[in-house]
Amino acid sequence: MLIDTHCHLDFKDFDGDRDEVIERAGKAGVAKIINVGSSVEGSRRALELAGIYDMVYATLGVHPHEAKTVTDKVINDFRSLAKDKKVVAIGEVGLDYFRNLSPRDEQVAAFRKFIALALDLDRPMIFHSREAKDDILAILKEERGTGIRGVMHCFSEDADFLKECLDLGLFVSFTCNITFKNAEALRKVARLVPVERLLLETDAPFLAPQEFRGSRNEPAYLALLVEQWSKLLNLSKEDVARITTHNANSLFALGLDEKARIAYQIRDSLYLNITNRCTNRCDFCIRDRTAFVKGHNLKLEKEPSVDDILKAVGDPGKYREVVFCGYGESTVRLDVVKTAARELKKKGALAIRIVTNGHGDLINSRPIAKELFGLVDSVSVSLNVDTEQNYTRICRPEFGQAAYARILDFIKACVANNIETEVTCLDLPGVDVGKCEEAARNLGASFRMRSYGVVG
């Protein structure tokens, strides 16, 4: 199910067939539509529509072109309107120096009033920036740490601006203009977006996708945008849909998927989440920040039995590989891993892999590589860093300094037992990735560098 996080169904362009447009959106898999207010009257109308259609939500804002209309009375009226549960954000607001339809100082003054309102109401914001990136960044940086959050909508700037927005913790959304034939430069920037920070938007009635270019855009076309993002980010369409829907639900407080996953698919691999326990406490572990990986809730209520795991997998032959990974260290349940792997092989699993912190020998008080042979085709060992000192400091293993050397022993034993072995290292500051790679190669393993902050 998809969420169109930015469209303007209140515009007169939809007066003739609004019901049909919303019905078509539903049939195309759009579960929720955020109707973004872009004027005083438009915001009121957005809220009216949210009252009529269950799937429609509203935001309150005034486009910078109309900055002069943003009086204290408007702000107070919006404060009252925002009591309605269907008001999910303040926006679209910001700065537009492309057409300069309002003087810049008035735009800045209005923008600051909306920021104060959003902070007061504790609501996310929808930002509009056109040819105004320096000023908008300066204001947002001033507000850093205040609890300000939101999305830079209709992103159309360069990679530097994208990085600044991401560093500020913002989400970004691009409209259907990334599907345009001549939008290669924008697509190049789009490829840099971490999917965890991406929202989908049509900005309808504007910017219809390439197939309908020149005609009115509408939320049902979101599916074409998903197809484009799937190509740009090398993810399946299901992945893009699930992750962006989770992102939108999270930013706009629209209700998260609470059901924890034992088995979860990303691209054509199936991952198994069999425990939330781990023998490390890595500084960078995302478990401290979120229960979600690529839109899947991995916070288990209880550890699954082998039967639970097999039931959650279904037919393992449908996937390129089945991976014991999840939100913890699976070798703390070595017997479960071995039994489940054996059964999955019997049921036709094409390949089985374990992603591990390499503590298996320490956890089970014996060398375990030999026991994995025949059940597990490959292991990915998260060595993460280059030295024992860095490992102890950054990964904080419960086994103390002994851990690093024992991980290297485990890697060596996996190679010796003919298990395809990969070592991964993170591009953390102060870590000599070359040294990490050399250690992996010397042990007979392959090497892969992972980017800090990218999971799954």
- Residues of the shown chain interacting with ligand SF4 in the complex, contacts defined by CB under 6 A: 278, 280-282, 285, 287, 328-329, 357, 382, 395
Letter for the amino acid at 114?
F
**Nearest CA-CA partner of 160 in 192, 127, 195:** 192
Apex 423 CA angle, 422 and 429, nearest 5: 150
Shortest distance (Å) from residue 298 CB to ligand SF4:
10
- Supply the minimum distance, in Å, between the C-beta of residue 361 and ligand SF4: 15
CB 322 within 8 A of CB 352: yes
Residue 291 CB, nearest approach to ligand SF4 (Å)? 13
* Smallest separation (angstroms) from ligand SF4 to the CB of 385: 11
Closer residue to ligand SF4, CB minimum distance, 145 or 429? 429
Nearer to ligand SF4 by Cβ, of 316 and 456: the residue is 456
Q: From the CB of 235, what's the least distance to ligand SF4, in Å? A: 22
- Sequence-distant (6+) residues with CB within 8 A of 287 are 276, 278, 327
CB of 283 to ligand SF4, least distance (A): 9
Pick the closer one to ligand SF4 by CB: 155 or 391: 391
CB of 421 to ligand SF4, least distance (A): 17
CB of 389 to ligand SF4, least distance (A): 17
Q: Shortest Cβ distance from residue 384 to ligand SF4 (Å)?
A: 8
Cα dihedral 311/312/318/322 (nearest 10): -110
- 7 vs 278, which CB is nearer to ligand SF4? 278
Pick 5 or 356: Cβ nearer ligand SF4: 356
Residue closer to ligand SF4 (CB basis): 75 or 286:
286
- Token pair for 89: 């954000």
Query: What is the distance between the alpha carbons of residues 414 and 173, in angstroms, rounded to a whole number?
Result: 44
Tokens matching residue 289: 């920040």
Which residue's CB is nearer to ligand SF4, number 44 or number 450?
450
Q: Which is nearer to ligand SF4, 149 or 277 (CB)?
A: 277
Q: How far is CA 152 from CA 31, 70, 92, 133, in A?
A: 22, 21, 10, 11
Residue (254 or 285) nearer to ligand SF4, CB: 285
Strand partners, 105: none
Quick one: angle between helices 72-81 and 40-52, nearest 10?
Answer: 10
